[in-house]
């Protein structure tokens, strides 16, 4: 399949969408932004998708985002922060992934008394990263994810230094269930 069917966006009541083994699909169709009741989006073995569109932040019912075995994806869009229902992100064997969330242009410098805003939604309860060799750190403000209960970092050697920072150790100490193996 070279592209997803246009009619897919005409299913506004769709709650779960699993797209697998679609190595010819390069992008998610613009009309998919109409899937306003979508709760779970899973992309597996979609090797040609290099960008998850900014409009993903408009899917406000999304609770789970699962991406596996994607060799082209570089980051998730910054609009992911708008997903106040998002509870789980799973990124598995995304070799090209360099940033969990795309860095925003023109970052504002914070005053000493300001807290960094997380680039991930504060509703996030579970974050799983496996085999994402290119990731070296998390977005600024990840320490503000007070609802995060499960964290798995497996076979992501680039995150070893980040995990050894004192600020990170304090953050990791408050997470209920964690598994970290480089």
Q: Where are the domains of the chain?
A: 6-103+117-181
> For residue range 108-148, what is the model confidence (pLDDT) as tens digits?
333 344 444 678 999 999 999 999 989 988 877 888 899 99
pTM: 0.90
Q: What is the pLDDT of residue 104?
A: 56
Which value, in Å, is the radius of gyration of the alpha carbons in the chain? Answer: 16
Q: What is the pLDDT of residue 103?
A: 67
What are the DSSP calls for the chain, one per residue? Answer: --S--GGGGG-TT--EEEEES-TT--S--GGGGG-TT--EEEEES-TT-----GGGGG-TT--EEEEES-SS---B-GGGGG-TT--EEEEES-TT---SBPPPSSPPPPPTTPPPPPSS-TT--EEEEES-TT---PPTTGGG-TT--EEEEES-GGGHHHHHSHHHHHHHHT-SEEEEE-
Q: What is the pLDDT of residue 117?
A: 61
Which CATH number applies to 6-103+117-181: 3.30.1130.10, 3.80.10.10, 3.90.1310.10, 3.30.1160.10?
A: 3.80.10.10
Give the residue ranges of the chain where pLDDT is below 50: 105-116
């Amino acid at each position: 399949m070279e592209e997803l069917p246009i009619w897919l966006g005409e299913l506004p009541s769709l709650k779960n969408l699993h797209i697998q083994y679609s190595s010819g699909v390069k992008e998610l169709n613009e009309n998919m932004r109409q899937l306003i009741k979508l709760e779970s989006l899973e992309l597996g073995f979609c090797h040609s998708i290099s960008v998850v569109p900014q409009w993903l932040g408009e899917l406000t019912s999304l609770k789970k985002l699962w991406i596996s075995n994607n060799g082209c994806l570089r980051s998730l869009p910054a609009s992911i922060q708008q997903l106040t229902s998002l509870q789980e992100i799973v990124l598995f064997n995304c070799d090209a992934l360099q940033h969990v969330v795309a860095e925003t242009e023109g970052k504002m410098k914070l005053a000493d008394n300001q807290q960094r805003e997380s680039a991930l939604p504060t509703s996030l309860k579970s974050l799983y990263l496996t085999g994402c060799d290119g990731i070296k750190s998390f977005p600024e403000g990840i320490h503000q994810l007070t609802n995060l209960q499960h964290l798995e970092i497996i076979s992501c050697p680039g995150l070893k230094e980040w995990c050894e920072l004192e600020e990170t150790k304090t953050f990791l100490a408050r997470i209920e269930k964690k598994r970290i193996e480089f």
